Amino acid sequence: MKFRSTLILTALLTAAAVASSTFTMKSSDISTHPTERITLGGGCFWCLDAMFKTLPGVKSVTSGYAGGRVPNPTYKQVCAGDTGHAEVVQVEFDPAQTTLGKLLDAFWDAHDPTTLNRQGADVGTQYRSIILFASDAQWAVAEKSKAEAAKSFSQPIVTEIVALKEFFPAEGYHQDYFNKNPHAGYCQAVIAPKLKKFTHREAKP
């Protein structure tokens, strides 16, 4: 009886040890790297959303509004140009997988930073080129990146670099717009060609 009890106790302890080891292993697989966020505007946020979601190290992209005067603006208000907001995307990324510098390199490729308050047929202050930084370190990287990018353009870069005061996520139907509406007119005529050009350029070594 004592021998059988010892065997049962040993088996239970072994099972518990295996379970604990398995749990520890699975827990260690979970990334603990802190992420960062940078907020960028360069025309319609549907375009930037689609493009930045293709980049390595990007964890999420949220379309929204920033840089204005009115709290909790609506899309209609922003489109009217009365709130001062720009259409932007807030990009969450893992610094262990990419850098802010690389994301800003992609940002310059993703739009034309030399056209004031305009990207293609989209005209208005809500479409301005803008980088909204969240820290002094991000400001320094943005300024350096802008200076380097200026060497590649024949016209002066008009991109604003300002501190982010508040970011307001856009309405739900704006989120992941291209992936949800790939056959919509704007997606086919504007976003798809931009995305094709962008992904081809980013794929180059």
From residue 119, alpha-carbon distances to 46, 114, 155, 159 in Å are 13, 9, 15, 12
Q: Is 79 a catalytic residue?
A: no
pLDDT tens for the chain, 205 residues: list them: 444 444 444 444 444 444 444 433 343 344 567 999 999 999 999 999 999 999 999 999 999 999 999 999 999 999 999 899 999 999 999 999 999 999 999 999 999 999 999 999 999 999 999 999 999 999 999 999 999 999 999 999 999 999 999 999 999 999 999 999 999 999 999 999 999 999 867 655 5
List, as own/partner pairs, every contact residues 65-72 make where C-beta atoms lie below 8 angstroms and the sequence separation is at least 24, other chains included: 65/167, 65/168, 65/170, 66/39, 66/41, 66/90, 66/130, 66/132, 66/164, 66/165, 66/166, 66/167, 66/168, 67/41, 67/130, 67/132, 67/160, 67/162, 67/165, 71/166, 71/168, 72/168
- Locate the domains of the chain by residue range: 1-30, 36-203
Q: Which pLDDT belongs to residue 203?
A: 56
**pTM of the entire structure?**
0.83
Q: Which pLDDT belongs to residue 199?
A: 82
Q: Under CATH, which number does the domain 36-203 receive?
A: 3.30.1060.10
Residue in 44, 47, 79, 187 annotated catalytic: 44
Q: Which pLDDT belongs to residue 204?
A: 56
Q: Which pLDDT belongs to residue 55?
A: 96
Give the separation between CA 149 and CA 134, rounded to whole angstroms. 21
If we measure between CA atoms, which residue out of 87, 94, 73 comes closest to residue 175? 87
